[in-house]
Amino acid sequence: MVLGVGLKPNKGVESVVDMLKLSKTPDQFLLEAHPKLRPVDMATEGIYIAGCCASPKDITDSIAQGKAAASGSLVYFVLGKAKIEPAICEINEELCIGCGRCEDACPFGALALDEVRHVMTVNEAVCKGCGGCNAICPSGAATMKHYRDRQVYAQIEALTQIGSANAS
């Protein structure tokens, strides 16, 4: 029996994680978007991973992942454009007070305060539509495109009506 030595992520990865707002596993490796369906994609569009930055791997797996990551990134160059999510954050500049709470809450680094106009701005290519900023915004300035509060309330109302009909 041959035991392998423990493998830890490189400490230098921290600066990349902070800069690109990447997700990590509890043991500090990079976290792919989905272990089976998107094993070389990060949750942030256009960022790919391969090899031991995601978990301990042998050379064969690392090469296969490297090829997959290279192919995935080529799609953007071939198409010359990228698709974005339809339900993404939208800031109402009339209501925004520039408090910055949403920027701190965004896990993808999609928000940045416009220091001159003192309003929040959204990088639509980075936003993943998680809704975190909507929940924390004190003035109601941050909302979701194509997924308004009234739609959520209508869904809740429909569900509660079904619940009461089933109970009676």
Nearer to ligand SF4, 86 or 163 (CB): 86
Q: Is 134 exposed, middle or buried (0-12, 13-18, 19+ CB in 10 A)?
A: buried
Tell me if 47 contacts ligand SF4 by CB under 6 A: no
Chosen residue from 100, 151, 156, 158 binding ligand SF4 by CB under 6 A: 100
Q: Which stretch binds ligand SF4 (CB under 6 A): 30-38, 71-79, 108-116, 152-160?
A: 108-116
Nearby residues of 44 by Cβ (< 8 Å), 6 or more positions away: 20, 21, 22, 108, 126, 128
Which of residues 139, 151, 155, 160 is near ligand SF4 by CB under 6 A? 139
Residue 30 DSSP SS3: strand
The dihedral through the CA atoms of 29, 32, 37, 41 has a sign that is: negative
Rounded to the nearest whole angstrom, what is the least distance from the CB of residue 13 to ligand SF4 in the complex?
A: 22
Counted residue by residue, the chain has a size of 168
Using CB under 6 A, which of 22, 130, 155, 166 touches ligand SF4? 130
Quick check: 110 and 89 in contact, CB under 8 A? yes
The smaller minimum CB distance to ligand SF4, of residues 8 and 117, is found at 117
Residues near ligand SF4 (CB under 6 A): 88-89, 91, 96-102, 105-106, 108, 110-111, 120, 122, 127-133, 136-137, 139, 141-142
